[in-house]
Amino acid sequence: MDQEGKSFSGYNPRTGSPTSRQFYEASAAEIERAARMAGEAVLPMQHLPAEKIAGFLEAIRSEILGLGDELVQQADEETALGLDRLRGERDRTCNQLKLFADIVREGSWVDARIDTALPDRKPLPRPDIRRMLQPLGPVAVFGASNFPLAFSVAGGDTASAFAAGNPVIVKAHPAHPATSELVAEAIQRAVAKESLPSGTFSLLHGIRPETSIALVTRPEIQAVGFTGSTRAGRALFDAAAKREQPIPVFAEMGSVNPVFLLPGALVERAEATAEALYKSVTLGVGQFCTCPGLAIGMAGGALDQFTAALKKQAEQGAPASMLNPHIARGFSEAFEKAAALPGVETTVSVKAAEEKRTEGRPGVLVAEAETWLQHRELREEIFGPSTIVVRCRSRGDAMRCAEALEGTLTATIHGTAEDLAGYAHLVALLRQKAGRLIFNGYPTGVEVAHAMQHGGPYPSTTDARFTSVGTAAIYRFARPVCFQGFPDSALPPELQNANPRGIWRMVNGQWTKDAVAG
Amino acid sequence: MDQEGKSFSGYNPRTGSPTSRQFYEASAAEIERAARMAGEAVLPMQHLPAEKIAGFLEAIRSEILGLGDELVQQADEETALGLDRLRGERDRTCNQLKLFADIVREGSWVDARIDTALPDRKPLPRPDIRRMLQPLGPVAVFGASNFPLAFSVAGGDTASAFAAGNPVIVKAHPAHPATSELVAEAIQRAVAKESLPSGTFSLLHGIRPETSIALVTRPEIQAVGFTGSTRAGRALFDAAAKREQPIPVFAEMGSVNPVFLLPGALVERAEATAEALYKSVTLGVGQFCTCPGLAIGMAGGALDQFTAALKKQAEQGAPASMLNPHIARGFSEAFEKAAALPGVETTVSVKAAEEKRTEGRPGVLVAEAETWLQHRELREEIFGPSTIVVRCRSRGDAMRCAEALEGTLTATIHGTAEDLAGYAHLVALLRQKAGRLIFNGYPTGVEVAHAMQHGGPYPSTTDARFTSVGTAAIYRFARPVCFQGFPDSALPPELQNANPRGIWRMVNGQWTKDAVAG
């Protein structure tokens, strides 16, 4: 099989069989063409009025909704995630597009700043300086297998890159190529309807890592958004850093998402916490970046009660289809490897019910803090529906566990108000380890909101200063440009004296919507 | 000479002799100790009230001012930049510290965002989510040779990293070690006066690249700020990208800073423009990141008049001491190499007046657009007081020159209002190439202001999304942390319902200083 003609098909996780349709690995010429077209779209897109971009995002939303249940059924065939979950994910994807349309239309996201001239300042006059964000350039997006809609072709990376005014090239995840095609066609109809440049959007298929690297190293590409494994995310990051012109990569690569069970909370509600945690661990068959894979508590009767309740839940848990054989095998292998470490008790094993149908069963491990601290392998994410309960013998044990954590998207604390006051030092330490701290809740269910932070210290992401969920995700794909001494009429509307866009601007250090005296 | 005991001295560019005091290359143990202490300062610094950080920045300012003329004289001995320039630079450094103290005290820079709970939302309730910026962690700062105060030990990188609440380790530039020591002692006195952790600040010396790499690769270091050459900046970027945990590097590496002379402007004021451009080219003996090294105009009488006036200025220009022999030699070599390319006319040569005193003389080259486009070497920065005039035969030539530009900190346009309207496409293209566009002005003189952008596409910097000058420089060294479901009393003051800090916050998508209903 040579690269040019190589084809592959999707896979039905329920039947264990490939789907009938064939997809072709993008050739070097196709990658080059998509990148060149994206490069040619940059200048025309730089000048698009905000209303045009907002309309485009809303048109994508309409086109996706217009696909009706065909989209959801196609995604279910390729992922086995279930129709209800996928309808919810489609709605999330559409709401996300609408939210970005709203912030683009409102316009203040461009962080406009104006320092007016001070012609009489001594020893030197100050010139008029005005700054705002503009698009960064073509963005390459790599979707996730576990969210075929919300973190895929028209997901958060694409929506935020478009919102900032960038062309986008998506490399479809090979786990759901037909779903990707449907969404890509919806985007292409929106491009045509809004008369945007043809290079605004392209979709490429591929299963070879070389195809992804070839896209990331095209000189036209100016940024990368990625959701997936640490290995694949790091490979793209490394390729981008080695370019003649290095480019920023935001790779969200999942994490352990520890849950700290403080003593007061466990005494109050050990069983209820175990039941709710179990739901969070097994949501989407554990295939979430925020799946809580670690529960740390103080050894004692309440933690025993919690562990027994978690065991009971897991034992009753039915096997369920995972996304693909690679993920199902990776889950059981990683679980078995952790379970085999000396001192780790297998409370409920994950052995798959029927290998060929890629099913996974919830599992629970238990270990002493000392054991967990000894084995770095136990600190790594096991992607799937399992968690490890870690028993601490002292508050010092809990702090040592927190210190040993790698960077993580989330850290959760269950406690009473007294627990929280007594463990302030733990909370302070977790702020160093995580992007989002959750109190008496669960990390799954990442709200698409202004205040969301879905990003954290490495290895959870490659740059903790950014988020891939929520409206702030747009800042990954924009850069400031400053105009010094320009006449008002030659400035973008966002920076003109009259503030025709009516946006918030920092004028001489003060946030205001007022016009600037001309 | 082994690494541990290696010593070096400063250098007086006027006498061509080493200065008497010896400085010792930081040993591996010293680097490790500084990094460990910085790591230990992270948690205590995370909780510092804004007022404490603002007070610290102001204390540094007072201590620097308290050094009086001793500091300026020491800097002049090591750099030959002149007492007036250095007094101005000291004032700029102190104003910068004050400006960062002001924004820290005001507090809105943390970009606080609050999405309040929606317990009745269907299908799922929305939790309470609150997000703000917090310090990123220990920052390694590498100062520039050409700004011994404003881009050095207490310069913009250090001030912005402190303002965000981070510990800082500065690797002093070996071109001004004694000046660096004086400023470091001033910072250390401020640390003691404000009772901050001893790891808040450290200074290391070194001339070996290995010393810089050893600092950047210490696991405690979480970000890097650098100003200097492309070679050194890229080496630090590469080392940081290869770490087990990659960290962000903002390296500002200088650029060509093209000036486009549009036809109307040249007809109106060819000679005045030449005189003013000459001043900008030779400011600080051309040793500015924003020195305009390229002037592009339409061939014809007006451009000839401009070139003749520039020649006259340069011929009258006195040789002046450059910062050190390495820079002086690099300047004359790069100029001679460019001058030797076929088709390049040497209008005024830069041959140094007296090699051993490291003097440099202003130079002017002239070439046709075709020649300039043929030789990539001509697009690279020649660090020193020279510029190349490029003659275009058509508007197409000018556009091709603009397209061929590498990423640059600034791009300048001289024109009438009619020129600007007629060359809108050129302005649009330059927005893709530069971080700051200047109309009828000069790129030197980088204002420390809210709206300043001192950063641009590679190779001018390693990340065009950030700036190293102006208050926005703080965003290089902070990351968001999100609190979900926390009781009000356990939140940082910036996120509490009552808004006790009185800052601007985005509450449910609206910017406001109002309290949130509890």
Q: Is residue B111 part of a domain?
A: yes
CATH assignment at residue B39: 3.40.605.10
What is the model's pLDDT at position B469? 97
Same domain, B146 and B31: yes
A44: preceding bond cis by omega (within 30 degrees): no
Domain count across chain A:
2
What is the model's pLDDT at position A59? 98
Same domain, B348 and B472: no
Instruction: Report the mean per-residue pLDDT for chain B.
Output: 95
Q: How far off is chain B from A204, nearest CA to CA, in Å?
A: 26
For the stretch B92-106, pLDDT in tens is 999 999 999 999 999
For the stretch B31-40, pLDDT in tens is 999 999 999 9
Q: Is residue A42 part of a domain?
A: yes
Q: Is residue A500 part of a domain?
A: no
Residues in A touching B130 (Cβ below 8 Å): 451
Exactly one of A63, A78, A220, A252 is catalytic; which is it? A252
Q: Is residue A300 part of a domain?
A: yes
Give A170's strand partners: A141, A203
Q: How far off is chain A from B355, nearest CA to CA, in Å?
A: 34
Find the helix or strand (DSSP H, E) in which B482 lies: strand B478-484
Q: Given B467, B481, B487, which is nearest A420 (Cβ)?
A: B487
Tokens of A295: 């529960």
In a 3-state reduction of DSSP, which class is residue B419?
helix
DSSP secondary structure letters along B59-85 = HHHHHHHHTTHHHHHHHHHHH---HHH
Same domain, B386 and B421: yes
Chain A nearest-CA residue for B127: A447
In a 3-state reduction of DSSP, which class is residue A41?
helix
Tokens of B96: 């910068």
Same domain, A176 and A282: no
Residues in B touching A115 (Cβ below 8 Å): 447, 449-452
For B323, the domain range is 258-439
What is the model's pLDDT at position B32? 98
Residues in B touching A134 (Cβ below 8 Å): 431
What is the model's pLDDT at position A2? 41
Chain A nearest-CA residue for B426: A43
Q: Indicate if the pLDDT at residue B262 is higher than 50.
A: yes
What is the model's pLDDT at position B1? 36
Residues in A touching B110 (Cβ below 8 Å): none
Q: Do A481 and B434 touch (CB under 8 A)?
A: yes
Active-site residues of B, by number, are 252, 289
Q: How far off is chain B from A338, nearest CA to CA, in Å?
A: 22
Q: Do B451 and A245 touch (CB under 8 A)?
A: no
Q: Do A490 and B420 touch (CB under 8 A)?
A: yes
Catalytic-residue membership of A401: no
Q: What share of chain A is helix, strand, coil (3-state, %, to 5)?
A: 45, 20, 35
Q: A49-72 in b/e burial notation, b at 16+ Cβ within 10 A?
A: ebeebbbbbbbbbebbeebeeebb
Q: Do A472 and B459 touch (CB under 8 A)?
A: no
Query: CA angle at residue A37 from A32 to A38, to 5 degrees?
Result: 100
Which stretches of chain A score pLDDT less than 70? 1-5, 352-356
What is the model's pLDDT at position B485? 97
pLDDT band (50, 70, 90) for residue B355 = low
Same domain, B215 and B139: yes
Interface test with A, best of B110, B257, B463, B479 (most A CBs within 10 A): B479
Same domain, B234 and B264: no
For A208, phi and psi rounded to 5 degrees? Answer: -90, 135
Residues in A touching B136 (Cβ below 8 Å): 464-465
- Give the ipTM: 0.97
Sheet of A510-512, strand order: A510-512, A505-507, A113-115, A129-135, A478-484, B434-439, B408-414, B258-261, B294-298, B386-392, B363-368, B345-348
Q: Do A482 and B439 touch (CB under 8 A)?
A: no
Same domain, B263 and B203: no
Q: How many CB pairs under 8 A join A and B?
A: 210
CATH assignment at residue B374: 3.40.309.10
The pairing of beta strand A7-12 with beta strand B249-252: unpaired
Averaged pLDDT, B493-516: 98
Chain B nearest-CA residue for A475: B465
Same domain, A249 and A264: no
Query: CA angle at residue B444 from B183 to B364, to 5 degrees?
Result: 120
Same domain, B171 and B228: yes
The pairing of beta strand A129-135 with beta strand A139-142: unpaired
Q: Is residue A184 part of a domain?
A: yes
Chain A nearest-CA residue for B447: A126
Chain A nearest-CA residue for B503: A511
Interface test with B, best of A42, A90, A129, A405 (most B CBs within 10 A): A129
Tokens of A460: 């959870």
C-alpha count within 13 angstroms, C-beta hemisphere, residue B214:
21
Same domain, A242 and A266: no
What is the model's pLDDT at position A6? 86
Same domain, A245 and A303: no
d(CA B93, CA A395): 46
CA quadruple A133, A138, A140, A146: dihedral positive or negative? positive
The CA-based dihedral angle spanning residues B465, B467, B471, B477, taken in that order and rounded to the nearest 10 degrees: 70
Q: How far off is chain B from A42, nearest CA to CA, in Å?
A: 9
Indicate the angle between helix axes B50-66 and B156-163, nearest 10 degrees: 150
Residues in A touching B137 (Cβ below 8 Å): 432
d(CA B125, CA B324): 65
Q: Do A481 and B134 touch (CB under 8 A)?
A: no
DSSP secondary structure letters along A332-398 = HHHHHHHHTSTT-EEEE----S-GGGTEE--EEEEEEHHHHHH-GGGGS---SSEEEEEEESSHHHH
Chain A nearest-CA residue for B408: A481
What is the model's pLDDT at position A98? 98
Same domain, B59 and B99: yes
pTM > 0.95: yes or no: yes
For the stretch B379-421, pLDDT in tens is 989 999 999 999 999 999 999 999 999 999 999 999 999 999 9
Q: Do A447 and B129 touch (CB under 8 A)?
A: yes
For the stretch A205-248, pLDDT in tens is 999 999 999 999 999 999 999 999 999 999 999 999 999 999 99
Q: Is residue A509 part of a domain?
A: no
Q: How far off is chain B from A395, nearest CA to CA, in Å?
A: 18
A119: preceding bond cis by omega (within 30 degrees): no
Q: Do A47 and B428 touch (CB under 8 A)?
A: yes
Q: Is residue B421 part of a domain?
A: yes
Exactly one of A30, A77, A78, A289 is catalytic; which is it? A289
